[in-house]
Amino acid sequence: MSRTKIRAGFVTNSSSTSYLIIGVEDEKIVDQIVRAIKPEPLPAYDVLVGWTDEHENYWDGLRDALVEANLVAAAWYDDGEGVHAIGYEARPMLEAGSIPDARERFVRDMKERYGIEVPIENVSLVSTRGNHLVGGEDDY
């Protein structure tokens, strides 16, 4: 059975857990935002070598960049797959306003902060699965 959580922080959970964010899942847009906040590329993953210090350093740096930007990213990264959704934690956004307000803020912020044009129709309340939610206000 799948559970939905609104959770902040660097979280390790089972693949059946999902997270709620206000953001995007479009691969091209996700990649643009990730590159804007952390220009270094995700290290290539070799299944024969496995997880390396280079991978650890990349994800630690991305987590720090996300926290600084007040963003979160849902990621599968144990096998080097990367970020598949990025946005704001849903809970604080919805405590402060509506989903349409949060979508508009995301579009405006990405344009103002990173010069990235995000079509509003690509922004939604995303229930996303991942083995990690990276970044967030309660990072630990």
0.95 cut: is pTM over it? no
> Would residue 47 count as lying in a domain?
yes
> Would residue 95 count as lying in a domain?
yes
> Would residue 140 count as lying in a domain?
no
At residue 133 the predicted structure's pLDDT band, cuts being 50, 70 and 90, is low
Q: Are 33 and 123 in contact (CB under 8 A)?
A: no
Domain that holds residue 23: 3-133
At residue 58 the predicted structure's pLDDT band, cuts being 50, 70 and 90, is confident
- pLDDT at position 40 is 85
pLDDT of 3 strictly over 50: no
The rounded mean pLDDT for the chain is: 78
Number of domains in the chain: 1
> Would residue 139 count as lying in a domain?
no
pLDDT of 2 strictly over 90: no
> Would residue 87 count as lying in a domain?
yes
The Cα 32–Cα 71 span in angstroms is 14
> Would residue 68 count as lying in a domain?
yes
Mean pLDDT value of segment 74-95? 81
What is the DSSP pairing of strand 3-5 with strand 17-24? Answer: parallel
pLDDT of 73 strictly over 50: yes
Give the bridge partners for 132, in sequence order. 12, 75
**Nearest CA among 124, 105, 98 for reference residue 22:** 124
> Would residue 118 count as lying in a domain?
yes
> Would residue 40 count as lying in a domain?
yes
- pLDDT at position 75 is 78
pLDDT of 1 strictly over 60: no
Which amino acid appears at position 118 of this protein?
Answer: V
* Residue 51 or residue 83, greater confidence: 83
* Residue 57 or residue 102, greater confidence: 102
* Residue 24 or residue 93, greater confidence: 24
